[in-house]
Structures are given as structure tokens and as C-alpha cells.
Amino acid sequence: MKVSLLPNCFLIAALLLVGPGCDAPVESFPDNDVYALTLAHSRDVPTEAASRDVSSVIEELFGTPNQPRWPSELMDPDLRISEQNLTRAAGPQLSEKDGTHLGLFREHCVTCHALSGSGAGPASVFQNPYPRDFRPGVYKWKSTQRDAKPTRDDLTKLLQHGVAGSGMPSFSLIDPDDLDALVDYIVYLSVRGETERELMAAAIDELGYGEDSIDDDARLVTQGELVTQGETDGAAVIREVVEEVSNQWASAESEVVPVPAWEELSGETLAASVNRGKELFHGPIANCVGCHGKGGQGQAVTLDYDDWTKEYSTRLGLTPTDRDAMRPFKKAGALTPRLAKPRKLTLGVYRGGGDTDSLYRRITQGIAGSPMPAVAVVEQEDGTGLTSDQIFDLIRYVQSLGPQSTVPQSEFNYQSSTP
């Protein structure tokens, strides 16, 4: 016997009287209409034919919200995702007699991240930053290089800890097997969403889907049949895209940024390191002060957006605050661009971890999808980057700024030595 519980999202949607994502039928995933519109804008071609065919390819490959599918035959074999886990995480919220939980994503995540992982769930409207859109495959809080995917371990830790200072809650109380199923489901939604985007772009740019008539050889779907097995250009493009997207996920482990050995300092050596870090923070190479303000107080005014919303605004030459320009995108389901604010470091709130290893990775990689740039690591001081020792000085300074800092604050108050 199965016990059905009312999906949270319907409750919340009813309370808020808003409901993108929840009132949509769950027989199929909603298409990425915002990306289609973005392509139509940037390529100046119609995208209806591409949307239609890509939509049926994606459903054939990845199934539906109630019956997910993992096309392992086309995937990098090193990317292992359990179909059993996907089934547990997908579908409506249910409990099996033996206590197995089903429908985990709709129980815990859909109100914010939405059914397709677009991040535009009913509760997203009130948040800044917005819940992540998994479909571009860009993640901020990870141990890997800026452009790389997070590892399984990164995603597991993220779910356990949540993202401090954002709407993303901690799921530390969830059963470890459920957590594992959710990690598989994030990868699933991300690979599915990236494949959809890449196929849309390839359909327009490589297969001529923006033209008046499409070559038979270029078609992604022929007479309602999927062509992945065939010898046509359309079939080759589908295989290439899935292979490439899955390969990036499979190689995440090899992209972990190694952190050089560092020393735990105290007393005068710590004070001296913090002071060197303060100089670097306000100096021209790292120029942290340019965004985080003097003493990391977040007073600098920066008017920038994150990559998820820039894609359909500034990168198309549109002004994010221009309501008329944004209207068609909003109608297609886009979230209103909101400023990506540099962190006020004196709060000592770290979304991706305030420990030395995490901060080393944050500073040397920057934060993917956000305006925060990377600082280059150099062997010898040459004016283009910082040595790893200097980066540890900078980290000790940043760590000294927070309220719970064990470094005595009064000794390191910012004195105006730089203009």
C-alpha cells in the first residue's frame, strides 16, 4: 500500500497565489522557453522548430517527471547514476510500506528549484540570490575549478550544510540514502537541462533549424522517430552533445583544486600575516577592496548581475531594469534580474565555507556564475598574481574580519594607508 501526501508545492502555491512550476502538468517537464527566446534574440532566427524537436528528443532520452530515464547508452561510462535513485527522487511524494521515501525532490526542493530545476519555483520570487537554475550546469560552492562541475562529495556536503545567508536550507536530517538519491537527481536535472540547451543551440547553429526548410539529414526527429542510432548529422549531434555534457560531470573529480600545505599561526606571526593580507586586500593586484569595500565592509557600489540573469539581459544588449525589454522573457518564465551583491565580509557569513581550504579555492578560482573574479597564483611575485603564501595571508585577513574571529579585531582595524 502506498500513502500519498499532499505535495508541499501545491500548499505553498495556494498560500502565495502564485504558481509557476506547480500548476504545470507533471506528465512532462516544461521546455526551456527562456533559453529559446534568448537564442531567437541573439541569432535573430525563429526557434519554434528547434524547440519542438529538441523537446521530443529530450523526453525520449530523459523521460518525464514521474518516470525519469537515464540514457546510459549515450553517456560517458564513468558517470554513474542509479536509475533506482532517480525513481526515488522523482514523482509525487509517497512512502512505501517498508519506509522507503519516494518523491524526494517534490517534497524538499520543488517549491524553490521548480520541476525542471529552473530555479523559478513559486517561492523563488522572494529570494536573492534566486534558487539555482540547474540547467546551465554552473555551480558556485565546490572544490573544483571555476568552470568544472562539482563532485558528488561537494553536492552531498552542500545539501548537508545548506547555503548560509541564502534561502537554501540544510538537509542534514535527511536519511543518507535519500541524500544520495537527491544528489543523483541534481545531476540528472542538470545533464538533462544542459543537453536541452546545447541541442537547441546546435540545432540553430549547426543543423540549420533557423532556416525555412530543414535538411532531412539534419533532422533530430524523423516521422516521430528518434534518430540517435542513425548515421545522419542530426543523430551525430545528439550523441556528441550527450557525450560532452556527461563527460564534464564524469571528470569533476579530476578537476579538484589542490590546496598547498599551510600553517596554523598564532600570536605575532598571525598578526603579521593578517597585516600583510590587509595590504594585499586593498592593493592593486587582488583589489578585493574594489568590490568588498574598505575593510571588507561591503560599502563599494557595484552594479552587476549574475550569469544566470545576464544571459537574457546584458549579454543580449538589454538593460535588466528596462521592464519593457524584460517582459517577453518574464512571460517565458524568466526571473527579474537582481543585483549580485559582493559579500559584506565583516558579517563572517560564508556560503561556501569559511575554512582555509574553501577560501583558498574561492579566491584562486573566483565564484562561478557570479562577478567575483579569480586571483592568479604565481610562483614568484611578478605583479600579475599572488604567491600561495600571499593568498594564505589574504585568507587570514578575511577570517579576521568576521564577528566570531579568534583574531583580535582591534589590532587590525583598517587604517587608511591606501587612497
Contact footprint for ligand HEC (CB under 6 A): 108-109, 111-113, 123, 127, 129, 131-132, 139-142, 155, 158-159, 163, 166-169, 171, 182, 186, 286-288, 290-292, 302, 340, 342-343, 345, 350-352, 359, 362-363, 367, 370-373, 375, 394, 398
Of 218 and 250, CB closest to ligand HEC = 250
Q: Cα–Cα–Cα angle for 365, 407, 272, nearest 5°? A: 75
Return d(Cα 203, Cα 52) in angstroms, integer.
11
Instruction: Decide whether 118 or 228 has the Cβ nearer to ligand HEC.
Output: 118
The distance of closest approach from Cβ of residue 3 to ligand HEC in the complex, given in angstroms and rounded to an integer, is 20
Shortest spacing between CB 174 and ligand HEC, in angstroms: 7
Q: Closer CB to ligand HEC, residue 60 or residue 255? A: 255
Q: Which is nearer to ligand HEC, 332 or 374 (CB)?
A: 374
Handedness of CA 96, 99, 104, 107 (dihedral sign): positive
Closer residue to ligand HEC, CB minimum distance, 58 or 109:
109
| Integer Cα distance of 299 and 352 in angstroms | 22
- Rounded least distance, CB 102 to ligand HEC, Å: 14
* Sequential DSSP letters for 43-57: HTS--HHHHHHHHHH
Q: DSSP character for 82?
A: -
Closest listed residue to residue 93, CA positions, set 9, 186, 15, 188? 9
At CB < 8 A and 24+ separation, what contacts does 387-394 make?
Answer: 388/260, 388/360, 390/276, 390/277, 390/280, 391/360, 391/363, 391/364, 392/262, 392/273, 392/356, 392/360, 393/273, 393/274, 393/276, 393/277, 393/280, 394/277, 394/280, 394/281, 394/286, 394/288, 394/363
DSSP output for 26-46: SSSPPP-HHHHHHHHHHHTS-
Q: CB of 338: closest distance to ligand HEC in angstroms?
A: 11
Cell 565564484 identifies what position? 367
Output 103 or 234, the one with its CB closest to ligand HEC: 103
Is the Cβ of residue 104 or residue 235 nearer to ligand HEC in the bound state?
104
Beta carbons of 270 and 262 less than 8 angstroms apart: no
411: buried, middle or exposed (CB in 10 Å: 19+, 13-18, 0-12)?
Answer: exposed
Instruction: For ligand HEC, give the closer residue by CB, 149 or 219.
Output: 149
CB closer to ligand HEC out of 71 and 373: 373
- Residue 326 CB, shortest distance to ligand HEC, in Å, is 20
- Residue the block writes with cell 564534464: 248
User: In the complex, what is the shortest distance from the CB of residue 206 to ligand HEC, in angstroms, rounded to a whole number?
Assistant: 30
DSSP-derived pairing of the beta strands 225-226 and 101-102: unpaired
Supply the minimum distance, in Å, between the C-beta of residue 105 and ligand HEC. 7
**Block residue for cell numbers 582591534:** 410
Q: Report the distance separating Cα 289 and Cα 82, nearest Å.
A: 46
Q: Which is nearer to ligand HEC, 237 or 359 (CB)?
A: 359
Kindly state the smallest distance separating residue 340's Cβ from ligand HEC, in Å. 5
